Structure 1
Amino acid sequence: MTLTEMKVFVPGVPAPQGSKSGFVRGGRCVLVESSKKVSPWRAAVARAFTGEPATGPLRLFVEFVMPRPKNLGDKTAPPMDVRPDLDKLLRSTCDGMTGAAYADDSQVVHIIAHKRRARPGETTGAHIRLTPATSGGSSS
């Protein structure tokens, strides 16, 4: 599908894709995701995209809205320099988009992403926007 712009909001708590745990079954090494929250998050991301996957090079913009600690009250949250790691949130989200938003995450050639705490009363999740990458090396 030729893409002009695709915007979705995926509600829920974004789950980082971290380490895998390994064990041997039947003489073979088996790797499983160490967090049980990753699969449901990836499935929620995939469900948010409808229609045919986009083709060609893409630019990805993601804003992760993370749970707000109760002790913040109505105060403005400081920058979120604690776990989960932004790159691990991106990994699980991009994997969830594979086959739904685009054929393969190798199509993503430009990413702008950040994470922040939810504002009072705001739903947690991820605001995702995909646009075509029309020129190489553009920073905007």
Structure 2
Amino acid sequence: MYKIVIPGRPVPKGRPRFSKTGHAYTPERTRQYEELVGWKAREAVKQPLEGNIALYIRVYVKRNVYPDIDNIAKSCMDGMNGVAYKDDKQVSYLTIQRLKGNEEKVEIEIEEVS
């Protein structure tokens, strides 16, 4: 099992934006968070896993912050795509919890399952 810790306030996946030419793009804040997730995943997982994947995600927030946890899962999964695993379609099991803590962060445990 691999453990990945992403420090700081979790960033939910933002809705796609459209340029004046109609081209869709990911909002900058989301893109930067996904890059951070990718870097942290690369530190823990040296080669992308190839089998079915189980993800256990814990989102730690302060006080009365209630982010949309399904969108946090999406930004984390997109950030690990091609880094911790080849494609997010490999994820066959996913749990996510929002917990109150003294420090805002996301902890992810990832393992191959049969």
Say yes or no: TM over 0.5: yes
What is the CA-CA distance between 1:42 and the residue it aligns to? Answer: 0.7
What is the CA-CA distance between 1:18 and the residue it aligns to? Answer: 2.6
4+ aligned runs moved over 3 Å, structure 1: none
Check whether the contact 1:61–1:113 (CA below 8 A) recurs between aligned residues: yes
Q: Which of 9, 12, 33 does residue 8 from structure 2 map onto?
A: 12
Q: Which of 55, 61, 65 does residue 60 from structure 1 map onto?
A: 55
What is the CA-CA distance between 1:98 and the residue it aligns to? Answer: 0.5
Measured in 2, the distance between the counterparts of 1:103 and 1:60 equals: 14
What is the CA-CA distance between 1:49 and the residue it aligns to? Answer: 2.1
Measured in 2, the distance between the counterparts of 1:44 and 1:61 equals: 18
Measured in 1, the distance between the counterparts of 2:36 and 2:73 equals: 14
Name the structure with the higher helix share: 2
Measured in 2, the distance between the counterparts of 1:61 and 1:24 equals: 39
> Where do residues 1-140 of structure 1 align in structure 2 (5 Å cutoff)?
5-25=1-21, 29-34=22-27, 36-50=28-42, 51-66=46-61, 68-69=62-63, 82=66, 84-119=67-102, 123-134=103-114
Check whether the contact 1:9–1:128 (CA below 8 A) recurs between aligned residues: yes
Give the number of the structure whose alpha-carbon radius of gyration is greater: 1
Measured in 1, the distance between the counterparts of 2:19 and 2:30 equals: 19
Check whether the contact 1:12–1:41 (CA below 8 A) recurs between aligned residues: no
Q: Structure 2: which 5+ runs fail to align?
A: none
What percentage of residue pairs aligned between the two structures are identical? 23
Measured in 1, the distance between the counterparts of 2:32 and 2:15 equals: 16
TM-score by length of 2: 0.86
The letter of the residue matching 1:108 is: V
What is the CA-CA distance between 1:65 and the residue it aligns to? Answer: 1.2
Measured in 1, the distance between the counterparts of 2:98 and 2:30 equals: 17
The letter of the residue matching 1:132 is: E
TM-score by length of 1: 0.72
What is the CA-CA distance between 1:38 and the residue it aligns to? Answer: 0.9
What is the CA-CA distance between 1:20 and the residue it aligns to? Answer: 1.5
Number of residue-to-residue matches in the alignment: 111
